[in-house]
Structures are given as C-alpha cells and as structure tokens.
A = this chain, B = another copy of it.
Amino acid sequence: MLAAVLQIRDETLQVLLWQRAQQPDLGRWALPGGQLGADEDVQSSVLRQLADKVDLREVAHIEQLGVFSEPRRVPGVRLVATGFLGLVPCDADPAVPQDTRWHPVSDLPDTAFDHAAIVRDARDRLRAKLSYTNLGFALAPTEFTVSALRDLYVSALGHPVSATNLQRVLARRGVLVATGETAPPGPSGGRPAALFRFAERQLRVTDASAVLRPPS
C-alpha cells in the first residue's frame, strides 16, 4: 500500500513524502505506506500506516487509485502496490516526522520508483472529482467563506475559478449550507463574508453525467 496524501498548503497542492535512508533509491523521496496486515482490508491498513508511520490522523477522505504492478517497478524485488489518494483539510497541521516533508505536486523532488506517477494519478483523481462530487469537504476547514473555498479550488485545479459561480454551483447542488454567521472583513475593509459549511462530509456524486439518462 502507498498513499499519496494531498493537502493545500500555502495556496499550493502538496504531497507528503519521506526521504529514503536505504538502498534502493537512497535519498529519493517516497510515498508513505507499508504491508497489509492479516486482519485488515487495504483501506484500514493504509489509514493505520499513516497513523503509525507519519503520525497522520487528519485524513478526511481516502480512496483507491488502483494497483501498480509493473514487474520492474521496484528494482531487485517483486512488489505490487495498491495506490491511494488521501486528503487532509487545509486547517490541519499534522506534526510529521523528521524525514518526511510536504512537497508541491507540481514541483516534485527526485522521487523513488514509480511514486511520481502515483502522485500524478492522485492529483488527476482529485481534480476530476472536485468538479462532479462534493469532495471539496476534504480540503476545506469545517467553516469557511466562499472566497477561501475558491482559493482552495484554484490551488487544486490549477486554473482560475469564479467565486460567484462556484457559490451558485455548489449551492444549487445542496453541497454548501450557510451557517448564518459571517467572517470579519480584512484590514482593508470590505463586506463581511458569510460562513458556509459542507452539508455532508462523505463523498457524494452531485453531478451524475446528465447524458443518456432515463427519460423523465
């Protein structure tokens, strides 16, 4: 099992990597992971690995990316790995061990084995699901303003997003609910922003492809 754990840090989509201290690929950066235990399924296992090995418990969403099984993906041994996408809300600041560090997904260091490809898969999965599910809940804090949420989407998607339209799309789909509270304006003034919350914190598909759907 290998987990590409993503979080928006400093307006940037980052992934948690640790630096290998032994051969092969000594010094290169690798995804956290480990072996499947006897009495757990792969998902429980990867959550356990993250808690045990990098002391990470704030994972708001995790899902399988697929099996990586190239015969020579790891030199010397035959290793088949199940890759995962994990997401950590941007307000969490987990204390990770010495040898681990967050790296921008768009500017990875030298990575071990095929781990760069797994990170790319994770990023692509996140980008796709942000637009047709409520997956934003896993990146955002519990309460937020629309423009803060917009900034998260911009960082994850890598292209401009209009706060106006983001608000309307998510509201129409019933993904966002207003708390009734407002956030104080910044030092330079401006209207105070309404605070929102995700209606659910479980993955839900909100925009099932409209095409070829059953007649009404």
Contact = CB atoms under 8 A, between A and B. Distances in A.
Contacts of A108: none
**Dominant secondary structure of chain A at its interface with chain B:** loop
Contact of A67 (B40, B82, B213): B82
A187 to B, nearest CB: 29
9 contacts: A36-B80, A38-B78, A42-B69, A131-B211, A132-B209, A153-B212, A161-B212, A165-B212, A169-B212
A159 interface: yes
A70 interface: yes
User: Which of A66, A157, A160, A212 has the most chain B CB atoms closer than 10 A to its own CB?
Assistant: A212
Interface residues of A, number: 37
A211 B160 contact: no
A52 interface: no
Nearest to A132: B209
Interface of A: 36, 38-43, 45, 64, 66-67, 69-71, 78, 80, 82, 128, 130-132, 153, 157, 159-162, 165-166, 169, 207, 209, 211-215
Contact of A38 (B70, B71, B159): B71
This chain: copies in complex: 2
Given A42-B80, A78-B38, A212 B67 contact: no
Given A42-B67, A66-B64, A166 B80 contact: no
Contact of A70 (B41, B67, B128, B212): B41
A159 to B, nearest CB: 4
Contacts of A159: 214-215
A70 to B, nearest CB: 5
A43 B67 CA distance: 10
B40 A71 contact: yes
A71 B37 CA distance: 9
A157 B209 CA distance: 13
